[in-house]
Amino acid sequence: MAPQQYALDLSIEVEKNVGGIEMGVLANGIAYLTQKGLSELCGVARSAIFAISQEWEDEIDNPILKKNRIGALKQKLFSKGYKEPKLYLEITKNGSIHYAYPDIVCMAILEYYVFSVKKEDAIDNYQKLAAFGFQKYIYESVGYVPVDKWKYYHERVSLLNDAPPPGYFIVFNETTGLIVDLINANLTVNHKTIPDISVGRAWGDYWRQAGLSAKYGERITFSHNYPPSFPQSASNPQPANAYPDAALAEFRHWFKGVYLMTKFPKYILSKANILPGGKGEALQIAGIYEQKLIK
């Protein structure tokens, strides 16, 4: 049985009907078509896309690659790293579930109707998309302009009033290398994804359980502010912990030997839904860190 794919806590950035084709962009930048939009793109009834979606779910765990349309789709999508239990992402919108077929799936299904079925409408649309690029076509059609992936990070770094008091360090400053690596790996680090919170909570638990205040002195609370672009800024200033510099060596040892080895993989997998490459990309990021630590 294929693993269940739950509705994602991922918002729709923009969605429009362009020339009869429903399309949009998710908050993580993934361009998508609705089920109706994909059927229009391929020139087939919506029921045909529904049927393909059902067949995919029935065959996803079958190790035998059948010589049919699902076999062809599996071969193409597996080669691109897409092995999700469903062909679409379930997105919650206005309290109800909506199906968003990501760009990689749309192109695979469109190519099936172009090269195997030779559907005339599909051929016409494929020629347009092949020349322009699926993602770029969707972006321009719905008027979506990608946000600089470094924007949120730079805004947080620029808040000089968040500097810790003399003699103390803060988790954010000690995890900037991790945050930079995640941004380079295409994880959208914004108000919904704040890696230093994950590290800070785990370190705080360790600090209490190990009784480190008796060894290094008490941690203190200082005022932390989120940039105006973060919804969290509405309740600024935020209380945050600062730890004695004497504990810095122990923090770094814990961060590398405990957090990155045992807690980071779970964290990055929890963010798989906002990575363009999904779970496969999350596992790859976790693997890269594992190799770094082994070395």
The pLDDT tens digits of the residues spanning 134-154 come to 888 898 999 987 777 677 677
Same domain assignment for residues 233 and 166: yes
Kindly write down the DSSP assignment for every residue of 15-35, as one continuous string.
EEEETTEEEEEETTS-EEE-H
Predicted local confidence at residue 7, as pLDDT: 42
Place of tokens 């949009």: 24
% of the chain residues with pLDDT over 70? 80
Cβ(201)–Cβ(257) below 8 Å: no
pLDDT at 238: 82
Residue 277 pLDDT more than 80? no
pLDDT of residue 257 exceeding 80: yes
Last residue of a domain, one of 94, 115, 142: 142
Asked if residue 30 is part of any domain, the answer here is: yes
Confirm whether 189 is domain-assigned: yes
Q: What is the pTM of this model?
A: 0.59
Contacts of 47 (CB under 8 A, 6+ apart): none
Number of domains in the chain: 2
User: Per the domain annotation, does 220 fall within a domain?
Assistant: yes
pLDDT, position 159: 63
* Residue 122 shares a structural domain with residue 231: no
Cα atoms in the Cβ-side hemisphere of radius 13 Å centred on 225: 12
Interval 156-207: pLDDT, tens: 776 655 577 889 998 988 888 887 777 776 666 666 667 788 899 999 999 9
**Residue 25 included in any domain:** yes
Domain boundary among the residues 142, 172, 202 is at 142
Per-residue confidence band for 97, with pLDDT thresholds at 50, 70 and 90: confident
Does residue 138 sit in the same domain as residue 210? no
Q: Does 278 share its domain with 179?
A: yes
The tens digit of pLDDT for each residue in 29-45 reads: 889 999 999 999 999 99
pLDDT of residue 9: 52
Query: pLDDT by residue (tens digit) across 80-96?
Result: 878 889 999 888 777 78
Do 130 and 167 reside in the same domain of the chain?
no
**183 domain-assigned:** yes
The distance in angstroms from the start CA to the end CA of the chain is 37
Q: What is the DSSP string of 77-144?
A: HHHTT---SSSSEEEEETTEEEEEEEHHHHHHHHHIIIIIS--HHHHHHHHHHHHH-HHHHHHHHHT-
> Is 197 in the same domain as 137?
no
Indicate if 96 and 164 belong to the same structural domain. no
Paired strand residues for 243: 169
| Boundary-marking domain end, from 91, 118, 142 | 142
Q: Specify the DSSP element, H or E, that contains 13.
A: strand 12-18
**Does residue 78 share a domain with residue 118?**
yes
Same domain flag for 137 and 156: no
Domain contains 3 = no
**Are residues 73 and 176 both part of a single domain?**
no
Q: Does any domain span residue 187?
A: yes
Q: Is residue 7 part of a domain?
A: no
Determine the angle formed by the axes of helices 176-184 and 195-209, rounding to 10 degrees.
Answer: 140
- Higher-pLDDT residue of 7, 264: 264
Same domain, 137 and 170: no
Question: Is residue 135 domain-shared with residue 183, that is, in the same domain?
Answer: no
For residue 127, the enclosing domain spans: 12-142
Instruction: State the amino acid at position 252 in one-letter form.
Output: R
